[in-house]
Structure 1
Amino acid sequence: MTYAYSFHGLTLSLPFPCPFLPRVETVSAPDVTVVYGPVARELEHAMATDDSWAAGYCWQAAPGRYLLKGGMKSGRFLVEGGTSITLQRNENAEDKRILFHLLHPVTAALFCQRGLLALHASTAHTPAGTIALCGRSQAGKSTTLAALLQKKGCAMVSDDITIVRCAAHDRVEVVAGSSVMHLWDDAAYGIGLDISGCDRHPVRRGKAALTAPSMPSSGATLLRKLCILEPGTGKIVGVSRVTGADKLDALLECVYGPLFQEEHPGLFPLFSATAEQADIFRIRRPESRWSLDDVVSVILDA
């Protein structure tokens, strides 16, 4: 049996159910198909690797191919050509861990292979337009997103991974992803969210999994602003606008996963259109105090 879902503007066929994506009627020709099958332990002729396990998995990549190894409680994923994913589950695999790997690093690799821009970002649709919150792990992306939802009535577009694609008239847009976000317990309490009874993050047990008010799964919205969250040393929230050629460098900082020139001959126009359309800011939050309200105000007013 297979299950069909809406998935960042595409249709996805899975051999198992996924509670984090909206169901669609079964389609005869899905955009992306996940199947069970054997996956080699090593990717032949890999051009980039990360074997550190720092993120709870390791990966190897080459143009058009991406191998993720998720550990004993997950499995191995092989992404090929931006259309197919082969999954070899381990004997002790946990469904939630499988889904986490599928919906985050595997998804980023898939869309990169399709020539779209995958950003390590959480994105909200706000009164000021759609804003992508970028930054490294633990930069505060999900926390800031949650504050925009909880305190400002915004809608979630995606958490942790944001897919950017070309739209009409040389514009770029963000497509809606999963409605689930992961939040550290202390951050949730600081925002005023009740996380009692919430599921836990399958890899980072200190995070809760919450269902957030979000855009329709088929929704897409023009990207208005991109904010790179960084730690700061001062007592106030710092903000600086990124301009000129530095905008392309800033975008490259935010890319989720490896990029290969051979894989993306048409990606530069998408980078250029994104840099031209979106205002880009660096937001430096004080590490010495809880400054979330100030960060949110700066992001909306920048």
Structure 2
Amino acid sequence: MPDYACADFILRSEIPLPELIEVGADAAREVVEIRRGAVAATGEGFLQRDGDTAVLRLPGVARFRVEGGRSITVDVDETCSERNLRLFLLGSALGILIHQRGLFPLHANAVVIDGVAVAFAGHSGAGKSTLAAHFSAAGHTVLSDDVCVIGLDAEQRPIVYPGLPRVKLWADAARLHGHDIDGLERIHDDMDKYQLGLPASPDQPPVPLAAVIRLVREGEQPAGLQRLRGRAAVQLLMAETYRPQVVSALGLQEAHFGQCVSVAATVAVLDWTRKWGHEVFQAEVEQLIRQLEQASIVSVGV
């Protein structure tokens, strides 16, 4: 089975995962196995837990048994395409495994600016992936799109691990960045959304996290960059957690709250309310970078 780089571990998978980078053996990283097999149904809920094992049931896709952050068994529905299967395997199922491993996944992308990671969170359609594609085109490393995996270094400081080296763009955003969508792969058989591969290295180390920024459209609150502190910062991180319903289903509420408090106390947590529209996008990003520089969060502009 091929091995793929992912977060702080290696995925050894019976299911081909072209979205990830194949790597050789690495004794320093734990191996997580993905294999095909029978997974028994467990009740009516979409997610059931028994000890350190969780079963995720997605009708028409698969049942996934995720065991203790060590393995994922996939029981594929015969009607599900390989493309659709990978979307949920590398999304919801992998998100459960990341939670089980004690890591903190945000529903965000992460961009390296001046040697530090800045994570951009926000609801679907807030422009996270478009922003990541912009930074990539400007020469910045994009560590992750959609799921930003946060861990701790030896000194207990938050770091961001590299994730899937691609961004997911709606057709209009892909065209805006000069891509012919006929040459891109859809992320799902029935969605007009495409994945764009990004430059990546299997040896990319984790990067210190400097800020978490939530994207907000102008009109929802006053425009500009607003720093959040204390309870407001913790609440933002809790709200922007990837698959937050998994936290309670796995009984991880206390640990998750501790992660949010730790990150909020260590890095800048901000709301960025910006004007909307492709015609003002570049100017808004440039203004954001200037504000981050002024706040000493980053020191080199785009």
Report the TM range for the smaller structure's normalisation.
0.7 to 0.9
**Structure 2 match to 1:221:** 207
How many residues are paired up?
A: 286
Does the CA contact (< 8 Å) of 2:234 and 2:264 recur in 1?
yes
- Determine the C-alpha separation between the residues in 1 that align with 2:66 and 2:16: 19
1:52-63 matches, within 5 Å, as 59-62=46-49
Q: What letter matches 2:56 in structure 1? A: L
Q: What letter matches 2:75 in structure 1? A: Q
CA shift in 2, pair 1:213/1:288, >3 Å:
closer
- 1:232-273 superposed Cα distances (whole Å, 9 cap, x missing partner): 228994321111222111110110112138436544443333
Deviation at 1:69, TM superposition (A): 3.3
1:107-146 matches, within 5 Å, as 107-127=94-114, 129-146=116-133
**Structure 1 match to 2:36:** 36
Q: What letter matches 1:197 in structure 2? A: G
TM-score (norm 2): 0.84
Q: What letter matches 1:229 in structure 2? A: L
Does the CA contact (< 8 Å) of 1:117 and 1:270 recur in 2?
yes
1:259-270 matches, within 5 Å, as 259-260=247-248, 262-263=251-252, 266-270=255-259
Does the CA contact (< 8 Å) of 2:15 and 2:34 recur in 1?
no
CA shift in 2, pair 1:35/1:216, >3 Å:
closer
- 1:17-41 superposed Cα distances (whole Å, 9 cap, x missing partner): 2112122235799531122222233
CA shift in 2, pair 1:11/1:68, >3 Å:
same
**Structure 2 match to 1:53:** none
**Structure 2 match to 1:77:** 64
Q: What letter matches 1:226 in structure 2? A: V
Does the CA contact (< 8 Å) of 2:247 and 2:256 recur in 1?
no
Deviation at 1:275, TM superposition (A): 1.2
CA shift in 2, pair 1:68/1:234, >3 Å:
closer
**Structure 1 match to 2:160:** 174
- 5+ residue gaps, structure 1, are 50-58
Query: Does structure 1 residue 13 correspond to structure 2 residue 2?
Result: no
CA shift in 2, pair 1:14/1:233, >3 Å:
same
- Determine the C-alpha separation between the residues in 2 that align with 1:300 and 1:181: 21
What SS class does the counterpart of residue 247 from structure 2 fall into? coil
Percent of paired sites with the same residue: 26
Deviation at 1:298, TM superposition (A): 3.8
CA shift in 2, pair 1:15/1:201, >3 Å:
same
Deviation at 1:191, TM superposition (A): 3.2
- Determine the C-alpha separation between the residues in 2 that align with 1:236 and 1:186: 27
- 1:103-157 superposed Cα distances (whole Å, 9 cap, x missing partner): 111111111111110110111112372111101111111011111111x311110
- Determine the C-alpha separation between the residues in 1 that align with 2:177 and 2:258: 39
TM-score (norm 1): 0.84
Query: Does structure 1 residue 279 correspond to structure 2 residue 268?
Result: yes
Does the CA contact (< 8 Å) of 1:142 and 1:159 recur in 2?
yes
What SS class does the counterpart of residue 230 from structure 2 fall into? coil
Deviation at 1:66, TM superposition (A): 3.4
- Determine the C-alpha separation between the residues in 2 that align with 1:76 and 1:156: 31
- Determine the C-alpha separation between the residues in 1 that align with 2:213 and 2:161: 18
Q: What letter matches 2:110 in structure 1? A: T
- Determine the C-alpha separation between the residues in 2 that align with 1:215 and 1:224: 22
- 1:17-76 superposed Cα distances (whole Å, 9 cap, x missing partner): 2112122235799531122222233358xxxx5xxxxxxxxx32447443333442x322
- Determine the C-alpha separation between the residues in 2 that align with 1:299 and 1:40: 49
